[in-house]
Chain A
Amino acid sequence: MLLMLQGDKRTYSTLTEIDQMHMFEQNGIKRGGPLMMSLDPSKLYEGYDILDSFHEQHLIDLEFTVLTVYLFHIVLIC
């Protein structure tokens, strides 16, 4: 029984090309363009900037969440 359970357990290192196809289909993954082909410093700011977007995104999330809760309370009071 224990061996059967261990046999059923999937790990990341055992995934196959077919698994990859399933993940693409089931998760709605589409292929985009190239992320960045060069390390030319003058072009860096044209690329994606995850670190900055994390800061901005979280601030926006927080602001809209607070605003939504605030408006919800006003509606309740009214």
Chain B
Amino acid sequence: MIGRFLNNAMRAATRYYSLSSGAVFHEYTISHSNLLGIGYISGPVDYLVASTVGDMRPSETGGVALPGPRCFLVVEAKQGATMTLAVSMSQLLAQILTIQHNDPCNPFVLEVLTISERNEHAGVLTDGSNWRFFLFSKKDKGILLHSSGNIVTADKISCNKVLGNYSYLLKTLLIFKVL
């Protein structure tokens, strides 16, 4: 269900914003060599919504795409009961910090040369119907964490409805627009 929502949202957002590429990567392994407060850490993220390397579009050209420089969203899928636990938040927080660290868009050299700096990354904890969004923005050499509260999509929507129902497609698009 979560994958269906994300795929629809990414497809709609790519079309709506005329993005050069965009894809949903499932169980994509990331790692951080020395995450502050933790040290070395690795593991798969449930879903990573990102551009693709070389703006590759496998649906048109075939082949295997890899996540590109723009990571729109890190998704941690949970069972309903574990969604609100601190360990779930810890997991998402570490994954986003890793994504920020690995972001090749604005490496340190570019930050020195430019007056602007890397800005925002987003993550979401979800069980498929409740979506808790978080926005991490870098400011003053620190990170500001915004939380969204809960966005409830719907209860027990069948996959066929998600694929064919315009209002749900629009809602997933709106979630990306909110980000």
Contacts and interface: CB of A to CB of B under 8 A. Distances in A.
Interface of A: 9-13, 15-17, 19-20, 22-37, 39, 41, 44, 47-54, 57-58, 60-61, 64-65, 68-69
B154 interface: no
Nearest to B51: A54
Given A61-B116, A64-B115, A26 B135 contact: no
Interface residues of B, number: 57
Interface residues of A: mostly helix, strand, loop or mixed? helix
A65 B5 CA distance: 38
Contacts of A52: 17
B64 interface: no
A61 B103 CA distance: 14
Q: Closest 9 CB pairs between A and B?
A: A22-B37, A28-B142, A26-B37, A26-B36, A20-B90, A17-B86, A11-B43, A15-B90, A35-B148
Contacts, number: 157
B148 A20 contact: no
A52 B133 CA distance: 18
B90 A23 contact: yes
12 contacts: A9-B42, A10-B40, A12-B41, A15-B94, A29-B143, A29-B145, A35-B178, A48-B120, A48-B146, A50-B72, A52-B17, A54-B70
B95 interface: yes
Interface string B33-60: 0011111111101000000000000000
